[in-house]
Structure 1
Amino acid sequence: MNPRRDYQLGLLYVTISAVAWSLAGYFTRLIPLDSFTLLAWRGIFGAASLLIVVVLFRGRHWWREFAGIGKPELAYIALTVAGMIMFITSLGHTSVAHGAVIYATIPFLAAFLGWIFLKEYPSRSAMISSIFAVLGVILMVGFGSDGGLLGDLLAFGMTCCMACSIVLMRRNPEMSAMASACIGAIISGAICWPLGAPLDVTGIQLFQLALFGLTNSAVGLAFFALGSKKLPAVETALIGALDAPMAPLWVWLAFNEKPDLNTIIGGGMVFAAVIAHIVASQRRAVPAHA
């Protein structure tokens, strides 16, 4: 495939995954259940939808995705389980805006890990955009009043898990990422099942939980896995940071959970940084080496 075309597909796939993941806060606020019940059903429906994706991609040989599980896949499963639990739990202790924009620190984390483990040196525009995005996070977390320390720490833990996942997939492009995510989803659901009240949900809530699992897991993880193999780690993280300004927007529109001014400004800085980097990347002669 043409390197430029491959790079553009990577941008598209990771952007789609960011949009899908940005809806997590919306579903968390929409479904009035405790975190463990949400995680239990999200894990089950997420695993089922990911299994369907694997079958669609691999056809009759879908089972080989699971038969080929090795050390990279086991590491990815552990990161998926930890990230899922910390992310959903964080939303019960901080605002959606804080949780989303803290995720914008991921470009720095991914750039550092990519430099250490992959010898990928971030482009100047990627680093400038990352610094600008993190300044937005500092403004929001340091001066915003709509978050909570425990929730913020959990959100940062989830961000660390995602940064490690990006580098892991970049380093092992042939790994069975979707099969691993499927296993991770069912494990997280099994862990949380006895800690919540999953049998007390209504029919409407069950339908909403199914949409949550489909959107957040099948769409989000599938496109993330496809896109992260085509982009440098820091760029995957930077485009994924679009989650930050979009997540509080959906909650604001649907539930009137208004972020304060510093949160709005910080989220705007993240969005501007990502757009500026995409424009700069498209102007380079050989974007595949960005």
Structure 2
Amino acid sequence: MEPVVRDKTDAAHARRERVVGTLLMLGSATSFSTIGLFTRATTQPLGDVLFLRGVFGALAIWVVARVFTKQRMTDRANFRWPALTVAGLFTIGMTSLVGAYRLGGVVNVSVIYATIPIVVGLAQLLFFRRRPSPVFWVSGAGVVVGVAVMAGGGLTGGDLIGMALAFVMTVCVAGVILISRQHRDTPMLAASALACLLSSLLAAPFLTSDLFDPKGFAIAALFGIVTLGLGRVFLVVGSGRVPSRDAALIDVLDAPMTPVWTWLVLGEVPAVNGIAGGCVVILAVLLGVRYDRE
């Protein structure tokens, strides 16, 4: 009877791990979805926001790594090329996304970012010769239609620049996903903390006298702790406990949640064509992730 008992115990443990992983991934999506809200809420110059966000994000990740994991920032693995590349991509991507939300509409930017599964599929085709399934191409066509609907109502110059910066972020995150899959021993928490510090270093020459404005300082600090600290930690810890497709499906949910925060807290009502096109994009991506089994 021992094998049966052990099998039941293993199955119960796997179910618990999946539930915990799902909750952590939902926490990641919720935390990361507040980036548009924090970006809009602060009136500090962009350099000040990026500097403070990076410092407090790195501190939050360091605390979690010290208290809840065995990862140390000084481990040699943190300075190998996969970890350094991930840190560089995170730095470019997160800096681009903050600029995107400053310049473009929240719906437009968040929807472009939601196309990560499509970009990953195209990258696998180009670099690994892995041919996507027909479901992938249908999903990609849906994304194109959705973006066309978004643009149908007319886009300002700020929207176009914001969407371009959001696409830079999307490409960077796709690169992180591909490197992480090829090098599963990459210490993602340490790479995320290093990316935070690099973004602060890049922003340091552009600091202004508004850096220590009490309200702006508090918002930027929370920005780093919530979106980079909690968001990245939840993602790293949770994604290892659920199947990769489930992780990708849950991670995409931050896109529709982002404009909800700015609407509820700041009263920013998105344009009708943005909502309609955004729904088409989100639906296409979710269906692609859910049914693309090849």
Is the pair's TM-score, using the shorter chain for normalization, greater than 0.5?
yes
Q: Which amino acid counterpart does residue 249 of structure 1 have in structure 2? A: V
Q: Which amino acid counterpart does residue 150 of structure 1 have in structure 2? A: I
Please provide the CA RMSD for this pair: 3.1
Q: Which runs of 5+ in 1 are unaligned?
A: 282-288
CA contact (8 A) 1:14 1:227 kept: yes
Q: Which residue, 85, 100, 108 being the options, matches 1:90?
A: 100
Q: Which amino acid counterpart does residue 97 of structure 2 have in structure 1? A: F
Query: Is the aligned partner of 1:201 residue 2:212?
Result: yes
**Residue 286 (structure 1) aligns with:** none
Aligned length: 281
Q: Which amino acid counterpart does residue 279 of structure 2 have in structure 1? A: G
Residue 26 and residue 188 in structure 1: after superposition, are their counterparts in 2 closer, same or farther (change >3 A)? same
Q: Which residue, 249, 267, 276 being the options, matches 1:256?
A: 267
Measured against aligned partners, the alpha-carbon deviations of 1:160-196 in whole angstroms (never above 9, x if no partner) come to: 1111111111221211011011011011111102213
Query: Is the aligned partner of 1:38 residue 2:49?
Result: yes
Measured against aligned partners, the alpha-carbon deviations of 1:240-269 in whole angstroms (never above 9, x if no partner) come to: 332221111111122222211111112223
Mapping for residues 207-246 of structure 1, pairs under 5 Å: 207-229=218-240, 231-232=243-244, 236-246=247-257
**Residue 145 (structure 2) aligns with:** 135
CA contact (8 A) 2:118 2:136 kept: no
**Residue 189 (structure 2) aligns with:** 178
**Residue 3 (structure 2) aligns with:** none
Mapping for residues 1-290 of structure 1, pairs under 5 Å: 5=15, 12-59=23-70, 62-63=72-73, 65=75, 68-117=78-127, 128-129=138-139, 131-145=141-155, 148-197=159-208, 200-229=211-240, 231-232=243-244, 236-273=247-284, 276=287
Q: Which runs of 5+ in 2 are unaligned?
A: 1-9
* 1: CA distance, partners of 2:134 / 2:20: 22
* 1: CA distance, partners of 2:20 / 2:154: 36
Residue 144 and residue 215 in structure 1: after superposition, are their counterparts in 2 closer, same or farther (change >3 A)? farther
* 1: CA distance, partners of 2:154 / 2:173: 24
CA contact (8 A) 2:248 2:289 kept: no
Larger Rg: 2
CA contact (8 A) 1:10 1:231 kept: no
Identity of paired residues, percent? Answer: 31
* 2: CA distance, partners of 1:41 / 1:143: 36
CA contact (8 A) 2:140 2:284 kept: yes
CA contact (8 A) 2:117 2:289 kept: no
Per the alignment, in what secondary structure is the counterpart of residue 92 of structure 1?
Answer: helix
* 1: CA distance, partners of 2:202 / 2:278: 33
* 2: CA distance, partners of 1:48 / 1:85: 18
Q: Which amino acid counterpart does residue 191 of structure 2 have in structure 1? A: S
CA contact (8 A) 1:118 1:171 kept: no
* 2: CA distance, partners of 1:86 / 1:175: 23
Q: CA deviation at 1:118?
A: 5.7
Measured against aligned partners, the alpha-carbon deviations of 1:82-117 in whole angstroms (never above 9, x if no partner) come to: 112111112222111111111122121111223455
Q: TM-score, normalised by structure 2?
A: 0.81
Q: TM-score, normalised by structure 1?
A: 0.82
Q: Which amino acid counterpart does residue 261 of structure 1 have in structure 2? A: V
Q: CA deviation at 1:214?
A: 1.0
CA contact (8 A) 1:65 1:179 kept: no
* 2: CA distance, partners of 1:131 / 1:261: 21
Measured against aligned partners, the alpha-carbon deviations of 1:195-235 in whole angstroms (never above 9, x if no partner) come to: 13265332232222221111111221122223455544x76
CA contact (8 A) 1:17 1:240 kept: yes
Per the alignment, in what secondary structure is the counterpart of residue 91 of structure 1?
Answer: helix
